[in-house]
Amino acid sequence: MRSVRPEIAEMLRDGLTNVQIARHLHAGPKTVAAARAALGMPPSKTGRPPEPSIAGSLAARSRDVGDGHREWTGAVNRGCPVMRIHGVRTTAYRAAWISVHGRPPVGYVAPGCGRPRCVAPAHMDDQLAREHHRRTYNAVFGGSR
């Protein structure tokens, strides 16, 4: 029988998943799975951790900079914050938009607050939102439509 690292055995008994244990102990998931089998325990039910929510992914890759703005700290491509949603590459602006509106944006999405790389979901404007703002502005202050 293969020897099992005591800390792996302990965490398995605590009910942690293979992935959680592997991550915590910097071990390979296969090592943990083998340890689980060696101890006669059933295979981990959740092979992979649940997909983080879009809002959660955004929050993890940005920081609160006050006044409701959130500065992007994740990956940037040509000056634009980028991330993946369910494996698909997209801009963080678009992800932020979807996280609050639940529908795809019309046209491109950009922070309407004017702060570069702000990904606060409430600050995202798509084409329709910009047109709406323009109409509202013109209705209040006058101007061409």
| Closest separation in Å from C-beta 124 to Zn ion | 9
- Give the nearest distance from C-beta 90 to Zn ion in angstroms: 19
Of the pair 36, 70, the CB lying nearest Zn ion is at 70
Q: In terms of CB distance, is 98 or 120 closer to Zn ion?
A: 120
Minimum CB–partner distance for residue 115 and Zn ion (Å) = 4
Please answer whether residues 100 and 62 qualify as being in contact, where contact means their C-beta atoms are separated by less than 8 angstroms: no
Query: Cβ of residue 130: shortest distance to Zn ion, in angstroms?
Result: 15
Query: Whole-number minimum distance, CB 49 to Zn ion, in Å?
Result: 30
Which CB sits closer to Zn ion, 50 or 66? Answer: 66
**Cβ nearer to Zn ion, comparing 21 with 124:** 124
If the CB atoms of residues 94 and 123 are measured against Zn ion, the closer one turns out to be 123
Q: Can you give the binding site for Zn ion, defined by CB under 5 A?
A: 69, 113, 115, 118, 120, 123
Run of H or E residues at 101: helix 92-101
For the chain, the three-class secondary structure string (H helix, E strand, C coil) is CCCCCHHHHHHHHCCCCHHHHHHHHCCCHHHHHHHHHHCCCCCCCCCCCCCCCHHHHHHHCEEECCCCCEEECCCEECCEEEEEECCEEEEHHHHHHHHHHCCCCCCCCEECCCCCCECCHHHEECHHHHHHHHHHHHHHHCCCC
